[in-house]
Structure 1
Amino acid sequence: MTKFVKDVNLVKPSMTNTITDVAITRRGMMKLLSAGVIMGTGLIGFPDFGYAAETPVKGGRLRAAMANASASDTLDPAKGSNSGDYTRQFMFYNGLTELDKNLVAQPALAESIDSSDGVIWQLKLRPGVTFHDGKALTAQDVVYSLSRHKDPAVASTAITLAEQFKQITAAGAGEVMIELTQPNFDLPALLATSPFLILQDGARDFSKANGTGPFICKEFSPGTRSVGIRNANYWKPGLPHLDEVELMGITDQPARVNALMSGDLHMISTLGAGDVKRLRANGQFGILESRSGMYSNLIIRADRAPGNNADFVLAMKYMQPREIILKTVMQGFGAIANDTPVPPWHPMFNKDLPQRPYDLDKARFHLKKAGMTGIKAEIITTPNIEGAVEGGQLMQQIGKSVGMDLQVRRVPYDGYWSTHWMKDPLGYGSINPRPTLDMLFSQFYRSDAPWNESGWKNPQFDRLVTAARGERDQAKRKQMYGDMQTLIYDSCSTLIPLFISSMDGYSNKVKGVEAWPSGMMMGYRFHEFAWLSA
């Protein structure tokens, strides 16, 4: 019998906090490109770190800022689509399970989850949990929260994941039975993600939040800020430490950093390499660096020109100067990728795929084969997608040497995700880490994935995604995921040059925080554990 998460295979990457500076300027990088110099890989190591134990101080008001802010900000877990949404929702809601700092699913609102076959799952709810309005948590709340994702009218970002829920029923006030369409031993990790946070039965008004989470929603102003006050009846003893958290959205990166350095903010997300050096030199700030599966990717739509030509896509792949981007744009804060979304430290990583090189001769060959020598195309970039502007500029410079006229158009970040992402023939995306490959592939690569960025469709890939969920033999499962990576590597038109370390900054007054590989800002849950020194 599977007892909670004992048989679930999850990523356990080490976390990181320090790195050596790389003394290569961006101007120097362009000179290297112009001279045709290819830099060696020489990846920089990531040592482990630890924290001295301190006694938390209770109380205080912490002000933090994420890099996302728009009128589409939401308190509905079914519609969350960025790190700001995820962080806000984890303030006010809980999941049935939650991911710890090793990406292992742990009990949360579900005291236990048992399954003998991966199809029928029995959940026993934690007693004594109440919503912010005082109502006790019941099985019906869980049934409603999970079932609503299957309703097309809800427009849930997790609708393809929820398709596997064949039946969800209450077995008494404190027990839930989930029957899947087929075995999935990743279910405990899946239930820990933000879309599946638990709402009160019948919740439809998301101008406010009524959850079981560590903070009670005091204010929610989309595009501006959210304010939470401490939930005195929180079911976790001793948490949270803070009296109040103000979560702001500031899309301008220099403004975020300056607000942190001036003391207006205590904590911010999404630092650039230059910001890290600046904050460390000051001595009054700490850096959270999490080695994760986060990446920025160049999306070439496969359903329109020029991306509907496989040789054009291959030419673009051979033009990726991965080592140069890592050492200059990222200043070493990341790892080389190979055009698949699985990082090299993942236990399911396909190490047999040859690393695609930076090879301009092959790029010219495929461009000529496509009949596109001299082609003119536009790459859309935007600030706040790490490396997108610089990556586009690099491609523009490299394109000149292979017979391609690439122009870079930088557009405002505000409205980018609704106006440009997944719509432009060539543009950039930014993907936060997912706890399982099933979730990553189901949301971004399956033919019917809600965020199928390139419009790639591969029936063999779709079948493998479904089959791998129910495969308990880890060797067979690894082979399946290896085959899926091969299909992406060979024919998908999303170009992934690097995996990017998640970089957050905080005042030395902030304690209790550490890097988690599940996402920025302690897996979007810093507010539950942070405290302010006296």
Structure 2
Amino acid sequence: MNRRTLLQGAAALGLLPVLPTAAKATPNAGGHVRVAMGHGGTSDSYDPATYANNYIQAQTYGRNNMLTEIAPDGSLRGELAENYEASEDAKTWRFRLRKGVTFHNGKSLSVDDVIASINYHRGEDSKSAVKSLVAPVVDLRADGDWVVFELESGNADFPYLFADYHFSVFPAEDGKIDFSQGVGTGGYKIKAFEPGVRTELVRNPDYWKSDAAFFDEIELLTVLDATARVTALTTGEVDIADKIDPKTGGLVARSPGVTLMETAGTQHFTFAMDTRQAPFNDVNVRQALKYGINRQELVDKILSGYGTVGNDHPISRSNVFFNHDLEQREYDPDRAKYHLQQAGLDSVSVELHAADAAFTGAVDAATLYRESAAACGIDIGVVREPNDGYWKNVWMQKPWTAVYWSGRPTADWMFTTAYAADAKFNDSFWGNERFNQLLSAARAELDQTKRTEMYHEMQAIVRDDGGVVIPMFANYISARRDTVGAPETVGSNFDLDGLRFVERWWKT
């Protein structure tokens, strides 16, 4: 495998179907845009180790850049890295830094800034959400304009990792980054930030991208209530709204001056159990819970058909490594009861914590789950939690919770982020020795056939042993007023054009 083949193969892993959303148009510069977002909390901060929701991600894409970027068609391209290359075994990766880039405070971007920004997520004392992603890096150094990574084993997907918003590049001094003021190299500067309320961004006149960051000002608003977001959009109080409730999608589409945008991607909704605690520490109880949910009912009633059923693993059908041969799990009360009997139980009572901050319709989904599980000998008590503070006080704090996942462009990235035994966002606290062995081996395997076999087995392990119920993959549904323009092709790796709307969209 030569360098070009390796890079092309890595890029192919991120391709996702994208639905056209608007006629081709030329962006205009200028204007003020207001955005209502269904994420954000009072615990949000500039600290890149703690980023945990779409609101702070959108803010980050406005004020910061990363080494690489997911393009609208799902491929990978350099951002602060002008280009990158790998050794034949993909154990050494070199990224050449783009010249002429400055921070908002006037400091010129240097290799030292990049190294310090990435090192912030490494080390024993790091509390970063992406610590596991850079754990395989054994050496990180400068070589002129190049940043050089030495890995403990090959990784064909390695450049994809640095498109993650946690790897924002901040100015550094003496090997330490300063994120306290939100200073970055991005298209917008921070004017004001009230965590859990609003962010004001103003355009950076010295932005190095000549074809991006068109708005003069952007106001990001945390509006956790789905109805309030739609009302604000249809009345013209805001210009863009994300996380549109599927049940109101048709109504929003018929609203004068509003365009509904639907994109199929990697987004999925889950119910994560703490596998360290009884009864979730018994695999048979976990299996019973997985057979006790009517997946198609949730797709029909919660997603209103804007999605597909899940199979208790996080790899989407659009992924090149999706296991099409893995039997789809169906609602089956008899098999659920069988697994309860294998656990030595006639019935089981559990509490499921949910809020619409997890995903729009999460409480209703939990209620439907309770109804279908009742026929299986499973009594689910639905606990409605407050929207504010859900991600800090409920997710990964209570034993069983509703969860939103945007997914990741590659199988390795998704598994490493949320299913590896040492992953910070392993929200089921699950560990499987065989899975972790395969995860390490597949990452370094350059033979596509062997790699496919490994990822297929890993999906089966997560489905049958894992601590997460994944009943559905949801299309992204957002909306914008006709006063906002968007490209013909938008990214599907996250909502709102991969959350890059802040620099890709414009005021008409």
CA change 1:144–1:317 in 2 (3 A) is same
Equivalent residue runs for 1:14-25 within 5 Å: 14-16=17-19
Counterpart of 2:481 (choices 489, 494, 507) is: 507
| Aligned match for 2:95, one of 123, 142, 152 | 123
Aligned to 2:35: 64
- Cross-structure match for 2:64: 93
> Partner of 1:218: helix, strand, or coil?
strand
| Residue in structure 2 matched with residue 274 of structure 1 by the alignment | 247
1:348 paired residue number: 321
CA distance in 1, matches of 2:380, 2:280: 14
Per the TM alignment, residue 107 of structure 1 is displaced from its structure 2 partner at its CA by 1.5
Please point out which of 190, 193, 214 is paired with 2:164. Answer: 193
Q: Distance in 1 between matches of 2:348 and 2:211?
A: 62
- Bigger CA drift: 72-81 or 108-117? 72-81
State the 1:380 CA deviation. 1.2
Q: State the distance in 1 between where 2:169 and 2:362 align.
A: 35
SS of the counterpart of 1:81?
Answer: coil
Distance (Å, rounded) in 1 between the aligned partners of 2:241 and 2:22:
20
Does 1:459 find its partner at 2:433? yes
Root mean square deviation, CA, Å: 1.7
**Amino acid in the other structure paired with 1:78:** A
In structure 1, the partner of 2:222 is: 249
Residues 130 and 152 (structure 1), Cα distance of their counterparts in 2 relative to 1, 3 Å cut: same
Measured against aligned partners, the alpha-carbon deviations of 1:215-274 in whole angstroms (never above 9, x if no partner) come to 111112211111111111111113221111111111121111111111111101111112
In the alignment, structure 1 residue 407 sits paired with structure 2 residue 378: no
Within-5 A mapping of 1:82-481: 82-116=53-87, 117-172=89-144, 174-202=145-173, 204-384=177-357, 385-481=359-455
Amino acid at match of 2:15: K
Q: Where in structure 1 are there 5+ consecutive unaligned residues?
A: 17-48
Whichever residue aligns with residue 483 of structure 1, its letter is: E
In structure 1, give the amino acid aligned to 2:497.
M
What is the alpha-carbon distance in structure 2 between the residues aligned to residue 522 and residue 52 of structure 1?
15
Structure-2 separation of matches of 1:295 and 1:51 = 25
**Deviation sequence 1:331-356 (CA, Å, 0-9, x none):** 11111111111112221011221111
Instruction: Identify which range, 82-91 or 385-394, moves more after superposition.
Output: 385-394
**Of 483-492 and 412-421, the range deviating more from structure 2:** 412-421
Q: How far apart in 2 are the matches of 1:480 and 1:180?
A: 20
C-alpha distance after superposition, 1:291-319 (max 9, x if no partner): 11111111222211111222221111111
The residue type equivalent to 1:14 in the other structure is P
**For the residues of structure 2 that align with 1:360 and 1:515, how far apart are their CA atoms?**
41
Q: Distance in 1 between matches of 2:104 and 2:416?
A: 33
Q: How many angstroms does 1:520 deviate by? A: 0.7
Deviation at 1:204, TM superposition (A): 4.8
Greater mean alpha carbon deviation, residues 520-529 or residues 393-402: 393-402
Partners of 1:96 and 1:108 within 8 A in 2? yes
Secondary structure in 2 aligned to 1:263?
coil
Q: Percent identity?
A: 32
Structure 1 residues 387 and 256: alpha-carbon distance in aligned structure 2, compared to 1, 3 A threshold: closer
1:365 CA displacement: 2.1
How far residue 526 of structure 1 moved from its aligned partner, in angstroms, is 0.1
Which residue type is aligned with residue 530 of structure 1? W
In structure 2, the partner of 1:520 is 495
Deviations 1:39-69 (A, max 9, x none): xxxxxxxxxx364322222210111122112
**Residue 417 of structure 1 aligns to which amino acid in structure 2?**
W
Task: Identify if the C-alpha distance between structure 1 residues 376 and 176 changes in structure 2 by more than 3 Å, giving closer, same or farther.
Answer: closer
My pick for the range that moved more, 366-375 or 317-326, is: 366-375
**TM-score with structure 2 setting the length:** 0.95
* 2:43–2:392 Cα contact (<8 Å) kept: no
How far, CA to CA, are the matches of 1:201 and 1:245 in structure 2? 27
Per-residue deviation, 1:152: 4.2
Q: Which amino acid aligns with 2:248?
A: D
- Give the whole-Å Cα distance in 1 for the aligned partners of 2:85 and 2:326: 37
CA contact (8 A) 2:71 2:77 kept: yes
Query: Counterpart in 1 of 2:471?
Result: 497
Deviation at 1:7, TM superposition (A): 3.1
Q: Distance in 2 between matches of 1:457 and 1:109?
A: 36
**Offset of 1:357 from its aligned partner?**
1.4
Work out the CA distance in 2 between the residues paired with 1:52 and 1:424. Answer: 46
The 1-side partners of 2:92 and 2:507 are apart by 44
Q: CA deviation at 1:11?
A: 3.0
Q: Distance in 2 between matches of 1:399 and 1:478?
A: 34
For residues 109 and 394 of structure 2, what CA distance do their matches in structure 1 show? 41
In structure 1, distance between residues paired with 2:152 and 2:377: 51
CA contact (8 A) 2:93 2:150 kept: yes
Q: Quote the offset at 1:480 in angstroms.
A: 1.0
Unpaired runs of at least 5, structure 2: none
Asked if the contact 2:272–2:427 (Cα under 8 Å) also holds between the matched residues in 1, the reply is: yes
Matched residue of 2:172: which SS?
coil
How does the TM-score come out when normalised to structure 1? 0.90
State the match for 1:13 in structure 2: 16
Q: Please report how far the alpha carbon of residue 205 of structure 1 lies from its aligned counterpart in structure 2 after TM superposition.
A: 4.5
What letter corresponds to residue 439 of structure 1 in structure 2? W
Cα distance in 1 for residues equivalent to 2:316 and 2:211: 36
Give the distance between the partners of 1:479 and 1:529, measured in 2 at CA. Answer: 38
Residue 457 of structure 2 is matched in structure 1 by: 483
Q: Tell me the SS of whatever aligns to 1:254.
A: helix
* C-alpha distance after superposition, 1:79-124 (max 9, x if no partner): 2111111111110011111100122110211111011231112221
Task: Specify the code of the residue in structure 1 equivalent to 2:167.
Answer: F
Q: Counterpart of 1:257 in structure 2: which amino acid?
A: V
Compared CA separation, residues 431 and 518, structure 1 to 2 (3 A): same
Shift of residue 435 of structure 1? 1.6
